[in-house]
Amino acid sequence: MTQRQDLPQFEDHSKQEHRYTTCYMCACRCGIKVTVEDEKIRFVQGNPDHPVNKGVLCAKGNSAIMKQLSPAKLTQPMLRKPGTERGAGEFEPISWDAALDMLTARLANIRATDPKKLAYFTGRDQMQALTGLWASQFGTINWAAHGGFCSVNMAAAGLYTMGHSFWEFGDPDWENTKYFMMWGVAEDHASNPIKLGLKRIKERGAKFVAVNPVRTGYQAIADEWISITPGTDGMFALSMVQVLLREGLIDDEFLIRYTNAPQLVINNPGKQGDGLLLRDAEGNPQIWDQHTSGVQSALSPDVAPALLGEYEAPCGTPVRTAFSILMEKYMAPEYAPEAAAQVCGISADDIQRIALEMAHVAFKETITIDTQWTDWAGREQSQFIGRPVSMHAMRGISAHSNGFQTCRAIHLLQVILGTIDCPGGHLAKPPFPKHIVPPIKPAKGNAPNTPLESAPLGFPTQPEDLVIDENGQPRRIDKAYSWDAPIANHGLMHMVISNAVAGDPYPIDTLMLFMANMAWNSSMNTAQTMDMLRAKDHNGDYKIPFIVTCDAFHSETVNFSDLVLPDTTFLERYDTISMLDRPISEIDAACDSIRQPILAIDRDVRSWQEVMVDLAGRLKFPAFTNDEGQPKYQDYKDFIVNFERAPGIGFLAGWRGKNGEKSLRGEPNPNQWQAYKDNQCFFKFDLEPNQKYMRHANKDYMELAKEAGWVGSTDQIVIELYSETLQKFRLAGQGLYDGPQPTQKHHQERLKTYFDPLPFYYAPLEQQRTDAKEYPFYAVNQRPMFMYHSWDSQNSWLRQIMSQNYLYMHRSKGEALGIKDFGWAWIESHNGRIRAQVKLMEGVNPETVWTWNAIGKQQGAWGLSDDANESQQGFLMNHLINELLPGENEAGGQRMTNSDPITGQAAWYDLRVKITPVSDNDDELAGQNLSWPRFDKVKPLPNFTPATKMSSYSSHPNINLSRGWRDIFSRGEK
Amino acid sequence: MKLGLVIDLDTCVGCHACGTACKQWNTSGTIGPLSDERPYEKDPSGSWLNRIRTYEVGDSPHSKTVNMPMSCMHCEDAACVTVCPTGASYKREEDGIVLIDQDKCMGCNLCSWACPYGARELDPNSGTMKKCTLCVDRIYDEQLPEAERQPACVLTCPTSSRVFGDFDDPDSQVSKLSRQRAGQQLMPELGYNPVNTYLPPRNPKQQDQIKVSAVQGIKQLVNRIINR
């Protein structure tokens, strides 16, 4: 549109500046362009050139101004006031110098004596490459980020099956897919990319099937909504696998060329080695070659492997193909659609139809892209064959104690249809795919003043890799990589406080938390967790002696801290979203990005990244100090640019080399940071057409990946439908493993039952131990698209969209129980009860109730007034969930962790509840619109300024459009 | 010109991005600030120019969830303008945008009572009426890059469910979409002739639209000679 003469000059742009950075209103990491004037934000918009969001922005990003203006921002370092109790919320300001001196002295002492006494756990951060390196240099094995209570099941299942995964390590091919199935996606994860993708597939007329007990958000626009019973997705997927096997609708060429389906498995039940792969002297897995009618290396290009069959190895060992075991397993009656229907609440007809629809699209609507490419064996290929069925799955799968095997079941479904990394299918995002699994083992021990020999987190492939002592007891405070949770790749953050307070496996000295709200919505069992944080031993000392919290905002956890280090907001800091961590890559490009300060810091806060680098210098970590023992890096930006993990490989992949001429690998470039700023704060390295698909077996791609340090070799990545890793652990449970084996019966039983080398369905652990008649409803949490966990109740715009959560249930069930819309009810689980207001709805599985996560807040926290809806009517479902499983004391008098028995993933969604309407007679809150439990009010922090009663934000005096009197009078005549 | 929006209810996921983008732009825009009362207290309430409502239509199992963003429809026969006693509310002849001159509005609320779409909100601080301007200060501002001369809600919508354009131009995208997708006016029976047009949700992809693969039978599953 051109400016009309009757319109005034709009706002004065001469005083405005555009600055680019990366959003952090959630974990999506969109590129943003921020218009600033007078050091105030005029406008935050999506960067149209950015690979992640392509110009769009969500409700959160559009409300960044109000996050920046939050009254909950911490303003200065604080110390718990001497003589006051932890949790009483009495703090006094302390200078940064004093705070860091105090912390350095304490940490130096721990490091010099017993480094594991520091437990360092971080929340939804995007800098695990730094915090993990820091922990490793400190020498503590007790480090992890929040993945263990978020979605480790998705990452682990993907990496142990196909070398990439859903969300951060892979995406549907939105441009080409013709059938898209979304499993258990609770509206965030990812935010804008999923929305952009859904638009594309709907534009193109692809079918969108949503599997979710709740029909909100994305589900609302699905062509078909599958209202599944929570926690039964594995059964649904495997029943569809049966349909496909029964009808012979599988991609046998894909299975033979790219997976271990034809590999020979030793068939010696009850004997050592049973279920392991047959291997030759060099350790190569074997197949039955139909050309030579004999056993050959599975890695040879010149063989025609049999997919099915039982054979005898040259040594006389009976063997059968992995696919034969798979056939036997999934053709069993328990996976028949009629049987699955009873479990999943989906009709047998629908299960069968959806399986056949996908097969039709995969095999009858195949697409091809004509491109010359070279396969893993060096053979020229002329096209990519695409089976355009794709999927995405997230927390609805991962937050169950059967989530790892369920996610593997979904991957199995994808793989037998041949839909992996092909046009229209599910595509990896660089630096993925990786070999199965990345060759990093978790560090096992630590020594004073010594960095760990390996990273704290890694990928076990056998019982020898566990982090246990000579008695088989856990070495880590969260018991990750113990027999409790052998493949706990992201740790078990939800167990740290509980274990540390119990001194099991040992007491710690200092708990350091970064942006994790462990005293509230990030812990199960919130009220008891608060008690644990306050718990003292018989000497009157705190069982967790010292708690350090770094956060930008006044969360509930700040209240339980001894030392509070205030972080900046994301608009005030340097940062990187690194290829060494979880980069922002797209399916066809390797991408990373930076954050730069958009606004000057106006209070006494420092970014945690800067503090980490500072502390690393003070503590004289080898990687952070020079030969004279002096700090090597001036600040975090200096570290980002100059640190090299391996020669030429650093945090940022773009503009490397002395003159910035190299991509992916090259020596540090002193001007790299400026180059990123000049390129709108991101780097995008496009793959060539011959590198975009079938990358697990694509030499053109693998050579690039090796050069970039993404993989260690150019060998083919063979998809592991059959997991020998899991079988090794199962053998250990059976007492048939030549190596470490558990001695306790409950560990043996868990390994035997759950470490099945092929995915299977089992009822979630809590549900196995809960009386379904007494607790008839499944209870789950969803996330609204306009809130990121607990972060956005402090945002005055977003809390106008929602300041109270309700318990949502199906109208028919509410009516049957005598609960009216907006009525109050008690919701009770094995762990306790809560009082909440109920909303009745149609679009929910009738056996399921749910609420929005983390809307409920503690009174006084997050800068909210005492009467805020979040603390008066809002509630957490966390009170109903225990970090320990209910029921029998199976572990020698102890209850087991409420987690996936394979990965240790927190099983948030296994909950069952009963619901009773509030009765005026027996309710202590009768007639009051209040949720329960209620907590003491959090006291205001020193120098806290309560927010004004009215907020009228504008970055400049508004320019009114005046209507002329002539217009008023002339128009009035009409 | 007849400027307005097309809103696609088939792809709106109810994410509220358009609502907050609007709030963000316009609080520093011609109509702003858009004030918020009790921003950190009980029942926070401010003036918004675009709100997203979510409805369930029908009873299960035949219910449907619909997300419905609502802002000023820029009606051709705008009752809000007719009733305005001061002349603050007006509809621009040249492009049909309905605006409020903040200097002339006395906050009498007549217009908001006249509007059947709930599109007008009294600012709790200024006491004047606020409503969607179609981002008149974006679409005509030649200082902005051309691609950004769009309403903030349209620029930001992650599912491109909002399209801005001239309904008088039969070749504009809004006109084409309205024709192709049977665009609907909201409550046309009231006679205000709203310009904004809603594209109804498409029928769910019918089961028989995707063929079910012909049954091949288990006997098909035999070893074939396939070279690695």
pLDDT in tens, B92-103: 999 999 999 999
pLDDT bucket at B210, cuts 50 / 70 / 90:
confident
Does residue A625 sit in helix, strand or coil?
strand
In the A/B pair of chains, how many CB contacts fall below 8 A?
A: 316
CB-based contact, A59 to chain B, within 8 Å: yes
Quote the pLDDT of residue B220: 62
Q: How far is A348 from chain B (nearest CA, A)?
A: 15
Which residues in chain A are contacts of B124 at CB distance < 8 A?
950
The number of domains in chain A is 3
Q: Which of A873, A859, A895, A758 is nearest to A823 (CA)?
A: A873
Are A135 and A171 within one domain?
A: no
Confidence at residue A967, expressed as pLDDT on a 0 to 100 scale: 87
Residue B164 has pLDDT above 70, yes or no: yes
Label the pairing between strands B197-199 and B3-8: parallel
Domain's final residue, options A541, A568, A595: A568
Measured distance between the N- and C-terminal CA atoms of chain A, rounded to whole angstroms: 28
Contact of A38 with A14, CB cutoff 8 Å: no
Contacts of B148 in chain A (CB under 8 A): 45
Give the residue among A118, A121, A169, A120 at the shortest CA–CA distance from A145.
Answer: A121
- Beta carbons of A327 and B221 less than 8 Å apart: yes
CATH no. for residue A862?
Answer: 2.40.40.20
The mean pLDDT value for A147-154 works out to 92
CA distances from A724 to A156, A160, A413, A436, A794 (A): 15, 10, 19, 11, 48
Tokens for A583? Answer: 């980069």
SS (H, E, C) chain B: CCEEEEEECCCCCCCCHHHHHHHHHHHCCCCCCCCEECCCCCCCEECCCEEEEEEEECCCCCCEEEEEEEECCCCCCCHHHHHCCCCCEEECCCCCCEEECCCCCCCCCHHHHHCCCCCCEECCCCCCEECCCCCHHHHCCCCCCHHHCCCHHHHHCCCCCEEEEECCCCCCHHHHHHHHCCCECCCHHHCCCCCCEEECCCCCCCHHHCCCCCCCCHHHCCCCCCCC
| Chain B residues whose beta carbon lies within 8 Å of the beta carbon of residue A10 | 30, 137, 140-141, 143
> Which helix (H) or strand (E) covers residue A326, if one does?
helix A322-330
Is B36 in contact with A863 (Cβ distance < 8 A)? Answer: no
Min Cα separation A180/chain B (Å)? 12
> Domain check: are A174 and A140 in the same one?
no
Residue ending a domain, choose from A704, A728, A754: A754
Q: Are residues A482 and A424 in the same domain?
A: no
Average pLDDT over residues A501-513: 97
Nearest-CA distance from B186 to chain A in Å? 20
pLDDT of residue B206 exceeding 80? no
**A193 located within any domain:** yes
**Would you state the pLDDT for residue B214?**
60
**Which positions in chain B touch A841 (Cβ < 8 Å)?**
56
Partner-chain contact A947 B40, CB within 8 Å: yes
B30, B201, B215 ranked by CB distance to A959: nearest: B30
Better-predicted residue by pLDDT, A189 or A24: A24
| Cβ–Cβ below 8 Å for B160 and A221 | no
Q: State the SS3 of A649-678.
A: EECCCCCECCCCCECCCCCCCCCHHHHHHH
Q: Please tell me the distance in Å from B44's CA to the nearest CA on chain A.
A: 6
Q: How far is A101 from chain B (nearest CA, A)?
A: 36
Question: What is the share, in percent, of chain A residues with pLDDT greater than 90?
Answer: 93
Q: How many CB atoms lie within 10 A of CB A718?
A: 22
The mean of the pLDDT values for chain B is: 94
**Average pLDDT of A283-310?**
96
Contact yes or no for A655/A667 (Cβ under 8 A): no
pLDDT band at A41 (very low <50, low <70, confident <90, very high): very high
DSSP state of A946: P
CB contact under 8 A, A63 and B139: no
Residue A14 lies in a domain: no
**Do A376 and A499 lie in a common domain?**
no
pLDDT at B222: 85
> Between chains, do A786 and B16 touch, taking CB under 8 Å as contact?
yes
Pairwise CB contact (< 8 Å): B140 & A947: no
Residue A936 lies in a domain: no
CA–CA gap between residue A384 and residue A960 (Å, rounded): 58
**Looking at the partner chain, which of A63, A309, A971 has a beta carbon nearest the beta carbon of B223?**
A309
A10 at B interface, C-beta within 8 A: yes
**Statement to judge: residues A371 and A250 lie in one domain:** yes
> What ipTM does this complex have?
0.96
Same domain, A295 and A414: yes
Question: Domain of A417: which CATH number?
Answer: 3.40.228.10
Q: What is the pLDDT of residues A528-576, one digit of tens each?
A: 999 999 999 999 999 999 999 999 999 999 999 999 999 999 999 999 9
**Host domain of residue A564:** 78-150+469-568
**Does A82 reside within a domain?**
yes
Using CA atoms, how far apart are residues A732 and A502, in angstroms rounded to an integer?
28
| Chain A, nearest residue to B44 by Cα | A800
Tell me how close the Cα of B161 comes to any Cα of chain A, in angstroms.
8
Is the residue at A961 inside a domain? no
Mean pLDDT rounded to a whole number for chain A: 96
CATH of B3-202, one of 3.40.50.300, 3.40.50.720, 3.30.70.20, 3.30.420.40: 3.30.70.20
Q: Are A476 and A413 within one domain?
A: no
With CB atoms and an 8 Å threshold, state whether A71 touches B38.
no
A449 touching B, CB under 8 A?
A: no
Instruction: Reply yes or no on whether the pLDDT at B33 is more than 90.
Output: yes
Q: Is B159 in Cβ contact with A865 (below 8 Å)? A: no
Q: Which tokens is A254 given?
A: 């894909």
CB-based contact B17 A59, cutoff 8 Å: yes
B137–A959 C-beta distance less than 8 A: yes
Contacts of B44 in chain A (CB under 8 A): 796, 799-800, 803
Nearest to A552 by CA among A794, A860, A786, A784: A794
The answer, yes or no, to whether residue A973 has pLDDT greater than 70, is: no
- Inspect the interface and report whether the beta carbons of A43 and B28 lie closer than 8 Å: yes
Please compute the mean of the pLDDT values over residues A150-155 and round it to a whole number. 94
Shortest CB distance from A65 goes to which of B24, B32, B218? Answer: B24
SS3 string of A265-278?
EECCCCCCCCCCEC
User: Are residues A167 and A295 both part of a single domain?
Assistant: yes
For A918-928, what is each residue's pLDDT tens digit?
A: 987 777 888 89
pLDDT exceeds cutoff 60 at B207: no
Instruction: Specify if A300 maps to a domain.
Output: yes
Q: What distance in Å separates residue A204's CA from the closest CA in chain B?
A: 12
A1 — pLDDT class (breaks 50, 70, 90): low
Choosing from A917, A937, A960, the residue where a domain stops is A917
Residue of A nearest to B88 (CA): A963
A785 and A841 share one domain: yes
Cβ contacts of B225 on chain A, cutoff 8 Å: 290-291, 304
Pair A844, A783 in one domain: yes
Q: Are A1 and B65 an interchain contact pair (Cβ–Cβ within 8 Å)?
A: no
pLDDT in tens, B103-119: 999 999 999 999 999 99
In this predicted structure, the answer to whether residue A365 has a pLDDT above a threshold of 60 is yes
In a domain, A226, yes or no: yes
DSSP label at residue A86: T
Q: Which residues of B touch A207 (CB under 8 A)?
A: 205, 209-210
Confidence of residue A887 (pLDDT cuts 50, 70, 90): confident
Q: Any chain B CB within 8 A of the CB of A261?
A: no
Asked if A253 is an interface residue toward chain B (Cβ–Cβ < 8 A), one would say: yes
* Any domain includes A397: yes
Q: Do A216 and B65 touch (CB under 8 A)?
A: yes
Contact assignment for A252 to B226 by CB distance below 8 Å: yes
The residue to which tokens 């801005």 are assigned: B164
Q: From CA A521, how far away is CA A490, in angstroms rounded?
A: 19
DSSP designation for A463: G
A65 neighbourhood in chain B, CB within 8 Å = 24
The structural domains of chain B, with segments of one domain joined by +, span 3-202
Confidence of residue A969 (pLDDT cuts 50, 70, 90): confident
CB A327 within 8 A of CB A219: no
Q: Which of A123, A188, A148, A172 is nearest to A396 (CA)?
A: A188
Q: Are residues A508 and A370 in the same domain?
A: no
DSSP A347: -
Q: Which residues of B touch A843 (CB under 8 A)?
A: 56, 60, 63, 65
pLDDT at B76 over 90: yes
Look at residue A972 in the predicted model and tell me its pLDDT: 53
Residue of B nearest to A3 (CA): B140
Q: What's the rounded mean pLDDT across residues A500-506? A: 97
Other Cβ atoms within 10 Å of A292 Cβ, number:
11
Q: Do A484 and A536 belong to one domain?
A: yes
Task: Tell me if chain B has a CB within 8 Å of the CB of A950.
Answer: yes
Sign (positive or negative) of CA dihedral A762, A766, A767, A770: positive
CATH no. for residue A517? 3.40.50.740
Find residues 804-833 of chain A whose CB sits inside 8 Å of chain B. 810-812
Contacts of residue B227 in chain A, CB cutoff 8 Å? Answer: 301-304
Residues contacting B126, CB < 8 A, separation 6+: A952, B33, B35, B102, B107
A389: enclosing H helix or E strand = strand A389-393
Compute the distance between CA of residue A393 and CA of residue A236 in angstroms, rounded to an integer: 14
**How far B187 CA sits from the closest chain A CA (Å)?**
23
The lowest-confidence range among A5-9, A33-37, A657-661 is: A5-9
Contact A811, A817 (CB under 8 A): no
CA distance B154 to chain A (A): 9
